[in-house]
Amino acid sequence: MLKTRPKPLITIFIVFALCTCIDPYIPELKGYESLLVVDGLLTNENASYEVKLSRTMQAQNSIPEKVSDAVLSITDESGNKTMLRNFGNGLYKTDSTVFTGAAGKTYILHIATLNGKDYQSEPCTMLPVPEIDSLYFEKAEEFTNNQSETHEGIRIYLDSKEGDGINNYFRWGYEETWKFRLPTLKKFNFINDSTILPVDVVKEFCWKQKRSKEILIQSFPPEQAGFIKNVPLNFIGSDQSDRLTIQYSILVKQYSISDKESQFWDNLKKVNESSGDIFGSQPFPVICNISNVHNPYERVLGYFQVSAVSQKRKDITFMELTKLNLPLFHYGCARIETAPEDYACQFCVPPTWDELYKMWSDAKFIFIEPFYDPVTRKLRKLVFATGICSDCELTGTLVKPEYWIDLK
């Protein structure tokens, strides 16, 4: 069964606050005051590979301390050594021009910290991964978090080409990109009541991008290891976001992982789903493949992942979805058409146009256009809208991604 992990690696460290009717009791978690956390992924992609280092904190809401004073390297079974460059803030990266991982090879991550401690991963072999054959979608329904109602939308599935059957543990990740258009476009700038000028560029279309936070893994029986079919990846409620309003694109990556790494993600799921009360599952160390060279009893969190990867992109247009009769997304925008006389009363002076503009701007509304009398051409109204509905750069970007192709 497909499993999802919505929280990052750092959530391995969980602090339980057990409250009584008088005073809260916070248990002391011995051995967890400051543990090294390693998050790294090495693939056969032509890219810089990243390793992130941090340390856990005792306080539940504290920001993890980044480890930016270490020296990292990767070696293979032939003794070839690749150094990682320190980019600060706990981030270390390889140089894509001098090192690329290869399926079938075995790699070890080495970490030397400023306090003289040496860590290294277990030897990790990069297992081959079958190519993704197709991505497709079907109409689907999904319950809300409280299981009280359902949402209609589409679910995206994956099929792979036949593999070699050597490995039967897989992981998937995906990146979403979609084009959208806001319903109330800003077309004018208000200078004063006699100077209202068209904007230089009407921000009509923007793009949003999002990397999946959930982690999807699945194992297959040995006899089915070479046949990966109908793997559900992502559900999109058609009326829950603007993903499907114009054009949506998803880039899926498929990784071949080891049995031990599969156990790592499975145990991490159990920790993340702990209920947090005295009757719930108690926190426990998650499997890790990294240890202190001179002190194997020191606890280390995280995992050095080594995997070949295959990827495929799928584009979906609004026109493709019309035959599914899905509910449409609505922004729920507030549009205000107002004039000074709207605020007139027996004992007060109505605001000027300038004061009216400032009043609504201070209320976080954006002026989008004027309304003139069709006969006299005098200014009759100022039109405002909520920013999130009139400035697409508040949630997206005007820069079209290099890989984007507009489909009809």
Tell me the pLDDT band of 119, cut-offs 50, 70 and 90.
very high
Is the pLDDT confidence value at 225 over 90? no
Task: Clarify whether residues 177 and 77 are in a common domain.
Answer: no
The DSSP code sequence of 80-95 is -EEEPEEEETTEEE--
Q: Average of pLDDT values for 24-51? A: 78
CA dist., res. 367 & res. 112, Å (int)? 56
Own/partner pairs, 260-268, CB within 8 angstroms, 24+ separation:
260/287, 260/289, 261/169, 261/171, 261/289, 261/303, 261/305, 262/169, 262/217, 262/219, 263/287, 264/288, 264/289, 264/303, 265/3, 265/5, 265/171, 265/215, 265/217, 266/3, 266/217, 268/5, 268/9, 268/12
**What pLDDT, on the 0 to 100 scale, is given for residue 79?**
94
- For the segment 243-291, what is each residue's pLDDT rounded down to a tens digit? 999 999 999 999 999 999 998 988 877 776 654 443 444 455 578 999 9
Q: What pTM did the predictor assign? A: 0.83
Is the pLDDT confidence value at 198 over 60? yes
Task: Clarify whether residues 268 and 120 are in a common domain.
Answer: yes
Task: Clarify whether residues 220 and 270 are in a common domain.
Answer: no
Among 295-304, 341-350, 393-402, the range scoring the smallest mean pLDDT is 341-350
Among 85-94, 247-256, 338-347, 358-367, the range scoring the smallest mean pLDDT is 338-347
Residue 256's nearest CA partner among 43, 7, 1, 8 is: 43
Task: Clarify whether residues 320 and 179 are in a common domain.
Answer: yes
Task: Clarify whether residues 114 and 38 are in a common domain.
Answer: yes
CA dist., res. 385 & res. 186, Å (int)? 9
- What does pLDDT average to over the chain? 86
Going across the sheet that includes 379-386, the strands are 335-338, 379-386, 365-372
The three-point CA angle 271-174-64 to 5° equals: 40
Q: Which amino acid is at 106?
A: T
Is the pLDDT confidence value at 184 over 70? yes
Q: Which domain holds residue 85?
A: 9-126+258-306
Residue 169's nearest CA partner among 263, 272, 38 is: 263
- For the segment 122-138, what is each residue's pLDDT rounded down to a tens digit? 999 999 999 999 999 99
Residue 390's nearest CA partner among 199, 244, 236 is: 199
Task: Clarify whether residues 154 and 241 are in a common domain.
Answer: yes
Task: Clarify whether residues 39 and 113 are in a common domain.
Answer: yes
Task: Clarify whether residues 235 and 262 are in a common domain.
Answer: no
Task: Clarify whether residues 140 and 232 are in a common domain.
Answer: yes
Instruction: Give SS3 for 140.
Output: strand
- For the segment 199-211, what is each residue's pLDDT rounded down to a tens digit? 998 999 999 999 9
Bridging pattern class, strands 300-306 and 36-42: parallel
How many structural domains does the chain have?
2
Place of tokens 């297959």: 220
76 vs 1 pLDDT, higher one:
76
CA dist., res. 69 & res. 88, Å (int)? 8
Instruction: Give SS3 for 257.
Output: coil
- For the segment 68-90, what is each residue's pLDDT rounded down to a tens digit? 999 999 999 999 999 999 999 99
- For the segment 284-336, what is each residue's pLDDT rounded down to a tens digit? 557 899 999 999 999 999 999 999 999 999 999 999 999 999 999 999 889 99
Task: Clarify whether residues 38 and 83 are in a common domain.
Answer: yes
Task: Clarify whether residues 242 and 146 are in a common domain.
Answer: yes
Q: For residue 286, give Cα distances in angstroms to 118, 270, 361.
A: 21, 9, 51
Quick check: is 140 in a domain?
Answer: yes
Quick check: is 97 in a domain?
Answer: yes
Quick check: is 367 in a domain?
Answer: no
The two tokens of residue 107 are: 């790699």
